[in-house]
Amino acid sequence: MGLLSDPVRRRALARLVLRLNAPLCVLSYVAGIAWFLALVFPPLTQRTYMSENAMGSTMVEEQFAGGDRARAFARDFAAHRKKSGALPVAWLERTMRSVGLEVYTQSFSRKLPFPDETHERYMVSGTNVYGILRAPRAASTESLVLTVPCGSDSTNSQAVGLLLALAAHFRGQIYWAKDIVFLVTEHDLLGTEAWLEAYHDVNVTGMQSSPLQGRAGAIQAAVALELSSDVVTSLDVAVEGLNGQLPNLDLLNLFQTFCQKGGLLCTLQGKLQPEDWTSLDGPLQGLQTLLLMVLRQASGRPHGSHGLFLRYRVEALTLRGINSFRQYKYDLVAVGKALEGMFRKLNHLLERLHQSFFLYLLPGLSRFVSIGLYMPAVGFLLLVLGLKALELWMQLHEAGMGLEEPGGAPGPSVPLPPSQGVGLASLVAPLLISQAMGLALYVLPVLGQHVATQHFPVAEAEAVVLTLLAIYAAGLALPHNTHRVVSAQAPDRGWMALKLVALIYLALQLGCIALTNFSLGFLLATTMVPTAALAKPHGPRTLYAALLVLTSPAATLLGSLFLWRELQEAPLSLAEGWQLFLAALAQGVLEHHTYGALLFPLLSLGLYPCWLLFWNVLFWK
């Protein structure tokens, strides 16, 4: 530890940090962004490869030929569904039993904290139907799941048809070593959540559901299927799950292998795969896909019902059949063959998927960036906060404690013993108030919705969103008053100490977030770090204030929505963007309460109070 204990070298280091602080910060920030952009270029992106030995070669012969059967099932299902207006449970039970499955149902109900206007539901009750194909070659200790989530509109009937046809086909095969569960859930993700909770006998979201009558051992992998027409032009694969969790990369590799084998066209984030990674076009297209993935992962929403499986450590992905105006169309047989191949390969697994990566980014289906390569990007961004904090500490320390090394100039070092006490005491009020604002932001909107609907002409969902915005804006006005309580003994020390605490707080939060959900951490770091480093009560204050508002968590969310639609090549108008923003707020709160998504509490209890501290620094008198 020579560097830390040798006073000469220490002083040199301190001088370096103090004098070159601004250039070092800029350099570090630019390096972080540049590193991230460089991720799509070949030395940093690698070709994907299958790590799992048991799924290594593709020597499986798919025999599925039940296309007509699938279409017939789908037609029947759609007809019954239209007749009853809900999931035709009795028909499903009968059909599953007729193809030779062990059939069970599970009913569930859930009262949402406030009406969900996007999906038009409030008091939800429904029934899940699932059939188990018992493996002839093993005890029921492990299983695979094929699930089809059915929403309120009857769009997914082709998927149900294909599921039933596949079940009938699988039933005739003798090689199964794992039970296969065919699950049809009502109310899409809510049903999936109810089923998963009941299957693992836990209750984490306050769902009321009947216990499951039949189980099939530990689930090894799951595939969710969404199809809305008899023919598809491409299959889109979704990997991002709840809170940004991702399935093992091998599952994706498996899907890609079978797409290639069957000649299916597959897309990621709705984008085709660039062929040529050596020229500039490939990586640029990859960057678009990568950014879309980052935005989707950062949202922390389950993008498809596979997202909920990931929480239970079940590797899962969602396949979506897309029917666009392309020429080459595939029928259900092609999709069914790919699924059959995947299930047969998964059937070979000797242990859980664990060989390949869990933390990765995808610029394309056949390319990935591993954690060791993308982490430096966020590391560089956080370094800015560290450098700034170190600079502030040194300034505070020198001003307050005088001599770091006794000596130097014996005399001028007039010690200021009470300064530190004042510094700490003046921090308590802003910290407590901003944290209390965060708590209010988290608790009040849902708690106070009924009060709001009584006094204002708004519906519950609107009330929640508007209360959110009101509290958020009120936070900007409130903390101005906090420091008047404190005697301004040393004017500069107050805000410096507050900024120091805020910087450390922000760095800690962003670090922890980046570890669990890189995309969210990186997105927030890119926006919040520069203004956090800049904030101070001198200089062009209006400019700083504008910048700070532009990089606040809510503004980041709004900006991400615009970027997201821009990247999807469906740009938003301002009004649309605002509507989407309001809907996203409501969805964020709902998803926290229904699935346990963490984005809302993270923003309201962690980043918003932290951001308020910087706001407070800016308006320190």
Residue where the block lists tokens 């008053």: 481
- Please list every residue from 245 through 264 that binds another protein, using CB under 8 A: 245-246
The CA distance from 139 to 148, in Å, is 25
Binding of another protein by 511 (CB under 8 A): yes
CA distances from 83 to 154, 458, 567 (A): 11, 35, 40
How far apart are CB 313 and another protein at their closest, in Å?
5
Among 47, 354, 450, 541, binds another protein (CB under 8 A): 354
Compare residues 512 and 543 and give the one whose CB is closer to another protein.
Answer: 512
Contact between 410 and another protein per CB under 8 A: yes
Q: Give yes or no for residue 417 binding another protein (CB under 8 A).
A: yes
Task: Tell me: does residue 23 bind another protein (CB under 8 A).
Answer: no
- What's the Cα-to-Cα distance from 435 to each of 304, 427, 442, rounded to whole Å? 34, 12, 11
> Which residue's CB is nearer to another protein, number 8 or number 570?
8
How much is the CA Rg of the chain, to the nearest whole Å?
28
Told to check if 1 binds another protein by CB under 8 A, we report yes
Q: Which stretch binds another protein (CB under 8 A): 60-68, 136-144, 386-394, 523-531?
A: 386-394
**Full strand arrangement of the beta sheet holding 208-209:** 208-209, 102-116, 121-133, 179-186, 142-150, 218-226, 315-322, 234-238, 266-268
505, 364 contact by CB (below 8 A): no
542 binds another protein (CB under 8 A): no
Q: Please choose, out of 5-13, 55-63, 476-484, 585-593, the segment that lies near another protein by the rule CB under 8 A.
A: 5-13
Q: Is 406 near another protein (CB under 8 A)?
A: yes
Contact 149, 225 (CB under 8 A): no
Q: Return the residue of 177, 375, 401, 545 that touches another protein, per CB under 8 A.
A: 401
CB under 8 A: which stretch of 61-69, 80-88, 396-404, 564-572 binds another protein? 396-404
Is position 136 an interface residue for another protein (rule: CB under 8 A)? no
Residues 307-326 that bind another protein (CB under 8 A): 311, 313
Which of the stretches 18-26, 29-37, 127-135, 407-415 binds another protein when contact is defined by CB under 8 A? 407-415
Per CB under 8 A, 205 contacts another protein: no
Longest dimension (CA), the chain: 96
Nearer residue to another protein within complex by CB, 517 or 527: 517
18 binds another protein (CB under 8 A): no
Asked if 512 touches another protein (CB under 8 A), the answer is yes
**Residue 218 within binding range of another protein, rule CB under 8 A:** no
Give Cα separations from 581 to 150, 452, 465, 466, 587 (angstroms).
Answer: 26, 21, 10, 12, 10
CB 50, CB 257: distance < 8 Å: yes
Cβ neighbours around 38 below 10 Å, total: 16
In 3D space, the residue among 334, 326, 323 whose CA is nearest the CA of residue 162 turns out to be 334
* Interaction of residue 376 with another protein, rule CB under 8 A: no
Instruction: Establish if 13 lies at the interface with another protein (CB under 8 A).
Output: no
Minimum Å gap between C-beta 422 and another protein is 15
Torsion of CA 120, 121, 126, 130, to 10 degrees: 60
- Does residue 415 belong to the site contacting another protein (CB under 8 A)? yes
515 binds another protein per the rule CB under 8 A = yes
Residue carrying the six token digits 């597959």: 266
| Least separation in angstroms between CB 337 and another protein | 30
In the complex, the smallest distance separating the C-beta of residue 586 from another protein, rounded to whole angstroms, is: 25
393 binds another protein (CB under 8 A): yes
- 526 three-class SS: helix
- Is residue 91 part of the contact set for another protein (CB under 8 A)? no
Size of the site for another protein (CB under 8 A): 34
At residue 580's C-alpha, the angle toward residues 576 and 584, to 5°, is: 170
Measured from the CB atom, is 164 or 222 closer to another protein?
222
Q: Which residues contact 382 (CB under 8 A, 6 or more apart)?
A: 507, 510, 511, 514, 525, 529
Query: Among the candidate windows 30-38, 110-118, 331-339, 395-403, which touches another protein by CB under 8 A?
Result: 395-403
User: Is residue 405 close enough to count as binding another protein by CB under 8 A?
Assistant: yes
Site for another protein contains 571 (CB under 8 A):
no
With beta carbons less than 8 A apart as the criterion, state whether 238 and 268 touch.
Answer: no
Smallest distance from another protein to CB 460, Å: 25
Based on the shown chain and the rule CB under 8 A, indicate whether residue 2 belongs to the binding site for another protein. no
Q: Assess contact for 342 and 262: CB atoms under 8 A.
A: no
Residues with Cβ within 8 Å of 446's Cβ and at least 6 positions away in sequence, in order, are 113, 114, 464, 589, 593
Q: Residue 95 or residue 299: which is nearer to another protein going by CB?
A: 299
CB of 374 to another protein, least distance (A): 14
Complex with another protein: residue 166 or 392, whichever CB lies closer = 392
Distance between CA atoms of 537 and 493, rounded to whole angstroms?
12
| C-alpha span between 559 and 556 (Å, rounded) | 5
Q: Give me the amino acid identity at 261.
A: K
Q: Which one of the spans 150-158, 187-195, 261-269, 394-402 is the region binding another protein (CB under 8 A)?
A: 394-402
- Check residue 120 for interaction with another protein (CB under 8 A): no
- The verdict on 280 binding another protein (CB under 8 A) reads no
Q: In this structure, are residues 221 and 144 in contact, taking their beta carbons and an 8 Å threshold? A: yes
Q: Which is nearer to another protein, 270 or 379 (CB)?
A: 379
Any contact of residue 4 with another protein (CB under 8 A)? yes
- Pure H helices in 300-352: 306-309, 332-347
**Any idea which residue has 């991230």 for tokens?**
36
- Select from 427, 389, 335 the least CA-distant residue to 510: 389
Q: Does 10 bind another protein (CB under 8 A)?
A: yes
Residue ranges that bind another protein, judged by CB under 8 A:
1, 4-5, 7-8, 10, 245-246, 311, 313, 354, 358-359, 389-390, 393, 397, 401-403, 405-408, 410, 415, 417, 420, 504, 508, 511-512, 515-516
